[in-house]
Structure 1
Amino acid sequence: MNTKPWAIGLITVMLGASLTACTTKKDTPSAQEVSSTPKDAKIELNFANWISTEDATKPAYEKLIAEFEKTHPKIKIKSVGIPFAQYKDQVLVSSKGGNAPDVLMSNQGFTPAFVGANVVSPLEKLISADILRDIVPASKNGVTFNGAVYALPWTPHPNALFWNKTLFQKAGLDPNTPPKTWQELLLDAQKITALKSNASGSPVYGLGEATKTGSYTGQMLYRLVLSNGGKLVDDQGTLVLGEGTALTDSLNYLRQLSVQKITPVGAEIKDLRGMFANGSLGFLIDGDFGRNNFRTMSGKGEAFDKEWGVTVVPVNKTGRSETVFTEHQLLIAKDSKHADAAAEFVSYLVSKDALTIYHQFNGVLSSLTSVSALPELNEDDYAKVFNEQMKTASAFPTANPKFDNAMKEASNLSVLATTTNEDIPSIIAKVLPKIQALYQK
């Protein structure tokens, strides 16, 4: 073979460039990206989320994005803000229509639907093994489907008990002694309800439970079922809701709250948070983002912290503090043209630097073992309460892609128990078959 020296040099240069393109992965656009994106152009990632739409979390969101773009100058984040109530349906519609965001925020109730609709990618080839190994076991179980991890747990939100110290004092209760048992909780709530109105003339309720149709109301009914010794599914994923007395006891409890006007009937969580913030609700079981929500909604800022306290959920029939934790999670779209850049963004959001920022703004926790143990995330009594609550908080059993639908159906149990005089067994007989149908294999 008679090859010219200049030809050999050209072949060598071309081969070197080819090898570089094939072996360099991190911070390098894919072949598909190269074909459509100029060499020095920024990659734009669409990030579907709801935290950019809410006053309490928007400042933290903006700071997180600014810090990421500062350290990743080749990547631009475009927020696709969708209100929480419409979030799941809008993301599914856009994804199935060929317009999927690159990165999806999710929660435990939405993730099974996104996985079941085949719109997101497994993460083992995108996210480092070190990060995946660091996920808290209870969280990892909730994002693993058919042996593959499809979502990266971001921030767990255990529900704990907030109480209003001002209303406590007016009701003759010790403002620094919250209830430790469910019986004490109910008695204290009855005394607060007897106040009838607060200083501004608004009606006062002792305790807030969500009783409006929707998946969140179903999730809070599940929390009550746990406290009464029941479950939604067994270890094999078979539906057991309705077995034993836990569901009946939970619905009788909600009816008692309704009849005695201890809880506002027909309220959803945003209503209850507003009532707690304006001093017309004695107790609210809510997540760790409550502090910032209440500061914002009250209009009093940090000064409002003097008017309330937070503690672990009182003990009911199981002998321990039973509660649930919701969890914000991060997923990468199957059709993303920038999967590597999306993985960079997701890995940043769960990092120590990002969680420290988010915690400073909203008091959130981390779903990574190493980050959750940092002093920066355990700096005050508020953080310590929620880290303590996580020890007995249960993840939602979301392996069934229809879990969110089941929670919506379950919410009708709460609605009927609080708005009708129909006997509880009849209500269960009417609604439970619809939930059972969703769990048929």
Structure 2
Amino acid sequence: MKFKQFSMVSMSLILGTTLAACSSNSNTSNNKALPSNSSTADTSTTSDASKEKVELTFANWISTEDATKEAYNQLIEGFESTHPNITIKSLGIPFNQYKDQVLVSATGGNAPDIMMANQAFTPAFVGASIVQPLQSLLGETIANDILPSSKAGVTYDGQLFAAPWTPHPNALFWNKTLFQKAGLDPNTPPTTWDELLKNAEKIAALKADENGNPIYGIGEATKTGSYTGQMLYRIGLSHGGKFVDDQGKLVFGEGTALTDSLTYLRGLADKKLTPIGAEIKDLRGMFANGSLGFLIDGDFGRNNFRTMSGKGEAFDNEWGVALVPVNQTGRSETIFTEHQLLISKATTHADAAAEFVKYLLSKDALVLYHKLNGVMSSLTSISSLPELNEDDYAKLFNEQMKTASPFPTANPKFDNAMNEASSLTVLATTTKDDISAIIAKVLPNIQALYQK
């Protein structure tokens, strides 16, 4: 994958506000390097590095979210207890603001030492030339342990620019309580798209719960934003579509997949099977509150729903999770998102930053994170551990990962394209305009982003 560097002018247009200074702020030129730890599975031993005190700033969004805040705190505590000369300073940024704020901060000279990213953010960070290659910092053992599908998404011009951390394949959650109320078998989820829609209609026919809250059959994101575009991409996969071909050429809109996908979404709107104008946080809240029959979401769903429902583990009795139903391709089509870790090109403590990244990739860290949030690992040696396959929930998501597709993020404008694509969903679900006219209106904006 090849990138052109973003100009400083274009960066200045991204966001009008900047972050507070978040670099390590060290101008020391004689920092002693921390030794690389060659063990992928265990980085818990205290480093024999210099006793010089180092503070690293870690840009992330998991410290800002209730569902992952405790895991974040324990991960930091675990690292600092084994690396007493390194302190991690959290730069927590809400997810919806994350990419733009990091870009503006980094290009303005205040780059955090380490950054979280996902598959939509990493290409922008690499394209803006604010991060550095990681292969030599992390070592060959870790680099060679990365799952092939994950490694391909973070390799640019033959260099590894991000460390895949936790993959999140999307699977189908269903509400067993609503199944019973609708006369459906609560232990038999749909296996085909047609069954999914029929079940959703029966659940939506309940109309409201005992408190008057509306009940919907299935939740699909319908609010403007890149996440909604990503979910349209997921729906398109089930209809046999692609966004780009094997050579990276844009093919979005070719064939019938996009038309079929938008027709599906319009049907949900017309039949009041999904709430209109909802984003993912709204849908998760509705599922947790028992007013949504189905939701396609990631493996972190269990912990989110336990927290948001206020019922804790007891809420597990009210829902189940299954593979995404089969549609036109004959297999369970879905996507996986992935949390990734990057190191700033501007950091003056690259080796210390690498120690932190290696710790987050380690067995100790991932077993802890999995226990608290159900996440998986993007490393082959860690993902196969019994501790990460301890129950049916974990096994289901490992099975779903086999047919999950990564986002085609080779082009740094992919996230912008997904934001444009969300307009297709919004127009299909809020207007009566002809589907072909909607595509003709929006598609040129996406095509313009991919013109060389």
Q: Distance in 1 between matches of 2:344 and 2:213?
A: 46
TM-score (norm 1): 0.92
Return the index of the structure with the highest Cα Rg.
1
Runs (4+) of structure 1 exceeding 2 A deviation are 21-28
Aligned counterpart for 1:134 among listed residues 145, 163, 167: 145
In the alignment, does 2:400 pair up with 1:389? Answer: yes
Q: CA offsets, 1:413-441, max 9 Å, x none?
A: 00000000000000000000110111112
For 2:193, the equivalent position in structure 1 comes to 182
1:308 corresponds to 2:290: no
Q: Tell me, yes or no, if structure 1 residue 431 matches structure 2 residue 442.
A: yes
SS at match of 1:95: helix
Q: CA deviation at 1:42?
A: 1.6
1:236-256 CA-to-partner distances (Å, cap 9, x unmatched) read 000001110000000000000
Q: Deviations over 1:391-428 (max 9, x none)?
A: 00000000000000000000000000000000000000
1:404 to 410, 415, 422: 415
Equivalent position of 1:295 in the other structure: 306
Counterpart in 1 of 2:34?
A: 26
Change (3 A) 1:69 1:283: same
Q: What is the CA–CA distance in structure 1 between the aligned matches of 2:217 and 2:424, rounded to whole Å?
A: 22
The corresponding residue for 2:337 is 326
Deviation, structure 1 residue 146: 1.2
Shift of 1:79: 0.2
Equivalent position SS for 1:175: coil
Equivalent residue number for residue 348 of structure 1: 359
Match of 1:194 in 2: 205
> Contact 2:119 / 2:153 at 8 angstroms: preserved in 1?
yes
Is residue 100 from structure 1 mapped to residue 108 from structure 2 by the alignment? no
- Paired position in structure 2 for 1:10: none
Residue in 2 that maps onto 1:4: none
Alignment of 1:201-220 (within 5 A): 201-220=212-231
Q: Secondary structure of 2:135's match?
A: coil
Q: Secondary structure at the match of 1:347?
A: helix
Letter in 2 for 1:75: I
**Aligned-partner SS, 1:331:** strand
Q: Give a deviation string over 1:63-114, Cα, whole Å, max 9, x none.
A: 0000000001110000000000000000001001100000000000000000
Q: Tell me the distance in 2 between the aligned counterparts of 1:124 and 1:169.
A: 52
Q: Partners in 2 of 1:329 and 1:366 — Cα distance? A: 11
Which consecutive unaligned segments of at least 5 residues does structure 2 have? 1-28, 37-49
- Equivalent runs, 1:36-185 vs 2, <5 Å: 40-185=51-196
Q: 2 CA distance for matches of 1:286 and 1:200?
A: 26
Note if contact 2:33-2:352 (Cα within 8 Å) is conserved in structure 1. Answer: no
CA–CA distance in 1 between the matches of 2:210 and 2:254? 45
Alpha-carbon offset, residue 147 of structure 1? 1.1
Instruction: Please report the TM-score for the alignment, with normalisation by the length of structure 2.
Output: 0.90
% same residue:
75
- Whether contact under 8 Å (2:107, 2:130) holds in the other structure is yes
Query: Aligned to 1:411, what secondary structure does the other structure show?
Result: helix
CA distance in 2, matches of 1:361, 1:42: 30
Structure 1 unmatched runs, 5+: 1-20, 29-38
Please say if residues 31 and 349 of structure 2, whose CA atoms lie closer than 8 Å, have aligned partners that are also in contact. no
Q: Using the alignment, how far apart are the partners of 2:311 and 2:34 within structure 1?
A: 46
